[in-house]
Amino acid sequence: MLVKDLLSRETNIVLIDEFDKVNIGLYNVFYQMFDEGELEDINYSVDVSNVYLF
């Protein structure tokens, strides 16, 4: 769902609240965004260089 939402707009803002309490699987998703600069799921790959994370 996040990947499709990111694809639908040119620039995005993602607000992360209480990140220390999320499931370990979600940690991996965000670490992929931070480390590789892209986010992938089964069908899509998104360049997250225009995503602002707070």
The structure tokens listed for 28 are 């991996």
**Is the predicted pLDDT of residue 13 greater than 90, yes or no?**
yes
pLDDT at 30: 86
pLDDT score of 2: 82
Nearest to 6 by CA among 40, 42, 54: 40
Q: What percent of the chain has pLDDT over 90?
A: 26
CB 32 within 8 A of CB 40: yes
Count of residues making up the chain: 54
pTM recorded for the entire structure: 0.68
Confidence check: pLDDT of 1 > 80: no
Beta-ladder partners of 51 = 12
Q: What is the pLDDT of residue 40?
A: 87
- Per-residue confidence band for 25, with pLDDT thresholds at 50, 70 and 90: confident
Beta carbons within 10 angstroms of residue 46's beta carbon: 20
Q: Give the torsion sign (CA, 45, 11, 8, 3).
A: positive
